[in-house]
Structure 1
Amino acid sequence: MNQADAIERSALVDFHCHLDLYPDLQVAIDQCEKDAVYTLAVTTTPKAWRRNHELASRTKYVRAALGLHPQLVAERAAELALWHELVPTTRYVGEVGLDSGPSHFRSLALQKQVFEAILGRCAALGDRILTVHSVRSVKPVLDMIEARLPRTRGRVVLHWFTGSASELRRALELGCFFSVNAAMLDGGRREACVAAIPSDRILTETDGPFTQTMGRPSRPSDVSATVIKLAGMRGVEPAAMARQITANLKHLIAS
């Protein structure tokens, strides 16, 4: 039995995937079901959420998250009102957060207003699980999480985290989990950051279709390659790593 076959005996987890940006959302969801991949279908705007939720709610393995992507806040901030209207009907929130990269730093003040409102609303409702974007903005993201979302009121999964060692320690103290994709395991500082994350705080993701596997947009089942890499880094069998990640998801959802 090869490593991939061994992993197939355990359910896989893709905690951050843009299923509605593939050519056919229904086909993408059906494939997650067929492959037994627990998948969080994140959305980038509240207007996209209803169809994602409608299709995902019929499945065992897929759930939809209600998002307002920081890279779209400059044009879509008015949709925050719709986000507020919809959030009582879902436990999952994302993609949300901050992005101060070169293309988006001009809207950072508005992004902070939106993210602050989202965190506050999640705290008021309680029991929300958020997948959070933090490009070049880890410190303000953690500052806002600490100020606005107590651990008893919600849980945060930091998507594609690339913070410093001290920021990682702070995120762990705040109770954050981390979703990791194959592009973060290509050597250098990003891989060192992943190596420092405790095994009981790691989830896998693809961020598909924005990442590639073998020259094509990554699919949720491609997290198996990430599981194999993580297992090698940690000196465990891939099947054991897959079971750990599934256990982490169950713990996150049960918390």
Structure 2
Amino acid sequence: MTTSIPEITLNNGVRMPQLGFGVFQVSDGDTTAAVSHALAAGYRSIDTAAIYGNEAGTGRAIAESGIDREELFITSKLWVADLGYDATLAAFDASLDKLGLDYLDLYLIHWPAPATGLYLESWRALEHLLASGKARAIGVSNFLPEHLQKVIDLGGTVPAINQIELHPALQQRDIADFNAAHGIATEAWSPLAQGAVLADPAVVDIAARHGVSPAQAILRWHLQRGRIIIPKSVTPQRIRENLDVFGLDLTADELSVIDGLERDGRTGPHPAEFNG
């Protein structure tokens, strides 16, 4: 299969690879090796976050890769402890410093933490970063429609991305539909449900028909449904395998079968449950 990665055009015209590499729950030391393997395999989009504690490890791999900065698409995220206008600007600069970069391609508010009432102040700070050129695109993560609507009601920039937990067992159609209606791209974190759906008989059967792994079949389902995805692994073989999904086409019936696998399969907290 080819490893040519298609791009999604975000609502401000910035183009983003549809398949990237995530480093959630990877230690800082292991992150350098994992991101290095990913970049060598052909990934150009890397997703990290302040709360992951591995921005420095990500930055080391980027620096050691020798790849031109303009060829890369780097995302990081603002944690809830730094919500608020001034705190957001300071946290952004701290992330840039750890990554060793002059700008980010995408900066996200990691959680709305609605009880604090501060995410709208942070959004205004992100708009400042966008206007200054320090962030090429801005968005959110784990936002429900009610949180997104409040951001939109500010009358300024509409988020380019809403990154949410999304996989066959948790498809979050209400959020994805709201995103689509407002020109917000949906990006799936935990696209493989941390492995929880790989043994599903329907997925195994579809994968066998195409001579691919269950993980590849699920990643292809995401791509054909138009989502941005950021699978993660620390195993070089799986890192390469997760990228090798562009010579595969699932049929309409196969897509529908995977669409029908939804159950209560959340692997992380619900946005409304995290108020800290």
User: SS of 1:37's equivalent?
Assistant: coil
How many angstroms apart in 1 are the aligned matches of 2:150 and 2:236? 34
Q: What does the per-residue CA deviation read over 1:75-120, in whole Å, with 9 as the maximum and x for residues that have no partner?
A: x9985242354679313234524255xxxx6xx3255255424433
Instruction: Give the alignment partner of residue 203 of structure 1, picking from 214, 228, 247.
Output: 228
Does the aligned pair in 2 maintain the 1:16–1:131 contact within 8 Å?
Answer: no
How many angstroms apart in 2 are the aligned matches of 1:178 and 1:198? 11
Structure 2 partner of 1:139: 146
User: SS of 2:77's equivalent?
Assistant: coil
How many angstroms apart in 2 are the aligned matches of 1:18 and 1:110? 28
Structure 2 partner of 1:120: 127
Q: Which runs of 5+ in 1 are unaligned?
A: 1-5, 188-193, 238-255
Q: What does the per-residue CA deviation read over 1:120-174, in whole Å, with 9 as the maximum and x for residues that have no partner?
A: 3245336722453116x342034314536535xx732534356864543331132
For 1:18-97, list aligned pairs within 5 A.
Answer: 18=23, 21-22=26-27, 23-45=29-51, 49=55, 52-53=58-59, 55-56=61-62, 58-59=66-67, 62-70=72-80, 72-73=81-82, 80-85=88-93, 89-97=102-110
Rg comparison, structure with higher value: 2
Inter-CA distance 182–171: structure 2 relative to 1 (3 Å threshold): same
For 1:228-243, list aligned pairs within 5 A.
Answer: 231-232=249-250, 234=252
Does the aligned pair in 2 maintain the 1:45–1:79 contact within 8 Å?
Answer: no
Identity of aligned residues (%): 8
How many angstroms apart in 2 are the aligned matches of 1:55 and 1:73? 26
Structure 2 partner of 1:156: 161
Inter-CA distance 123–39: structure 2 relative to 1 (3 Å threshold): closer
- How many pairs does the alignment contain? 206
Q: Which has the higher helix share?
A: 1
- Please give the TM-score of this superposition, normalised by the length of structure 1: 0.55
- Please give the TM-score of this superposition, normalised by the length of structure 2: 0.52
Q: Which amino acid aligns with 1:156?
A: I
Q: Which has the higher strand share?
A: 1
User: SS of 2:157's equivalent?
Assistant: coil
Q: What does the per-residue CA deviation read over 1:174-202, in whole Å, with 9 as the maximum and x for residues that have no partner?
A: 22112231229949xxxxxx999995842
Taking only aligned residues, the RMSD between alpha carbons, in angstroms, comes to 4.9
Q: Which runs of 5+ in 2 are unaligned?
A: 7-17, 201-218, 256-276
How many angstroms apart in 2 are the aligned matches of 1:198 and 1:24? 27
